[in-house]
Structure 1
Amino acid sequence: MASESTDTESNQTADLLLPEDGAGPLLQRDYWAVIKDCQHPPSTVMDWVCQRFAEFAPSELCVFKRADEACEGEPLKLGDELSVKIQGAGTFGVRVIHKDAQSLTLATLPGHPEAGRITFGAYRNEHGDVIFHIRSRARSGSQFHYMGFITAGEAMQTNTWTEFVLRAAVTAGEGVVGVIHADTTELEDEPEGSDPEQDPTFIAKGD
């Protein structure tokens, strides 16, 4: 008989829309900022994100809801699924595939416009400042979605996640220091040793 942990891992990775199932280049997109005058440890910032995730997303662009309505209001946990209604695109699904004290990772489910995952994390830099960071690593979910992303999706995604960073920064401090950084890197493949079924896109360290 399989152990409970093995069963849980199998449930988390079942039916994921992996980058290998998508179309177009594998893109790594980073959105991050230093939180101004943050008096809370990164783990507390992430507690708020997991508890109030839907509130940090701009509803005019996308709306997240728990798939299990009975869990509304509870912190996100491993294996939880959410629906996301994306303006002009439809409603799709994501699943929590990784969670630790300082990060949360969601992976896309079949039908989603992207094939991959996204990690939300908080950590300290070498100066002790708290940084909130979002990194996605994905391909378009299909050739159709790839063409749509080229025409409109990229700007919408940037607006969604930079607003998410800003809202997290306003919740945890007094906004951001300077600007919210947004960078895109085209990758040949996943970094060596990285498992797209269960690993975060970056490790958040320094609480």
Structure 2
Amino acid sequence: MDWAPDFATDVERDEVQLPENGVGPLFHRLFRGRIRNSDQSPEELMALVMANLNRLTPTGFAHFSKVRGDKDRMRLADEYVVRMPGPWDGPVRVVAITPTSFRLATLAGHLEAGQIEFRAFYDDGLSLSIETWASSGDRFSRLLYQHLRMAKEVQFHMWTSFLERAARISGGRLTGGIDVETRLVDQAER
């Protein structure tokens, strides 16, 4: 599916930047790692991820600061600001959550307009995926992401590092590397 699923009806939509609110085409990206030798279930791995996003985030690139919600637990409608070097801070809101996944939507002021989902599951062993559906938040962001590819490379490094760290905290290790798929989707296809 090239478009993000809709999110919970009881989540505020004010300030949410959907892909159609952005600039340029939609980028649908999937980062996926298979983890071997882990004795954790998808629910256990996701509980570790949700308890502290910074445990897996390369903090030289980004740091999650919770600005709305209970400090020790992730819940629907919680908000974070992803702090990055330079003027790139990105506000996000939790718009969907299950024991094995959560999805964030970008808010006004974020470089992107869209959603990102983190999902743990079994597929011939424990797996973790990060799936994004986003267009650029504004023309400058489009220049950085699509034309100069700077933001795209930062995103690539951030999410592949996240998956590598997830394998380590699960007590396992990645097998077969990290799969990365990128599709450019014309917004008219929706």
Partner of 1:183: 181
Residue 169 (structure 1) aligned to one of 167, 170, 180: 167
Q: CA shift at 1:15, angstroms?
A: 1.7
Partner of residue 157, structure 1: 155
Specify the alignment match of 2:134 in structure 1. 138
Deviations 1:119-158 (A, max 9, x none): 0000111x3x111000000000011110011321010000
Residue pair 1:24, 1:139 contacting (<8 A) in 2 also:
yes
- Structure 2 residue identity aligned to 1:138: A
Deviations 1:44-88 (A, max 9, x none): 1111111011221111101111004x733x121100000111223
Q: CA 1:10–1:162 in 2, change beyond 3 Å: closer, same or farther?
A: same
More displaced stretch, 182-191 vs 139-148: 182-191
Task: State the 1:36 CA deviation.
Answer: 1.8
SS class of match (2:103)? strand
Report 1:69-148 matches (<5 A). Answer: 71-72=70-71, 74-125=72-123, 127=124, 129-148=125-144
| Counterpart contact for 2:11–2:76, Cα < 8 Å | no
Moved segments of 4+, more than 4 Å: 189-192
Mapped to 2, the partners of 1:90 and 1:167 lie a distance apart of 23
Contact 2:111 2:138 in 1 (8 A): yes
Q: Is the 8 A contact 1:17 1:109 kept in 2?
A: yes
Is residue 2:42 matched to residue 1:42?
Answer: yes
Q: AA paired with 1:22?
A: G
Quick one: which amino acid aligns to residue 91 of structure 1? D
The count of corresponding residues between Structure 1 and Structure 2 is 181
Secondary structure class of the residue paired with 1:107: strand
Name the % identity: 28
Secondary structure class of the residue paired with 1:157: helix
User: How far apart, CA to CA, are the structure 1 residues paired with 2:109 and 2:10?
Assistant: 20
Which range moves more in the overlay, 54-63 or 183-192? 183-192
TM-score by length of 1: 0.82
Per the alignment, residue 198 of structure 1 pairs with none
CA separation of 1:162/1:190 partners in 2, compared to 1, >3 Å: closer, same or farther? farther
| CA-CA distance at 1:165 after TM superposition | 0.8
Please give the alpha-carbon distance, in whole angstroms, between the structure 2 residues aligned to 1:76 and 1:159: 24
TM-score by length of 2: 0.89
RMSD, aligned CA: 1.9
Shift of 1:98: 0.2
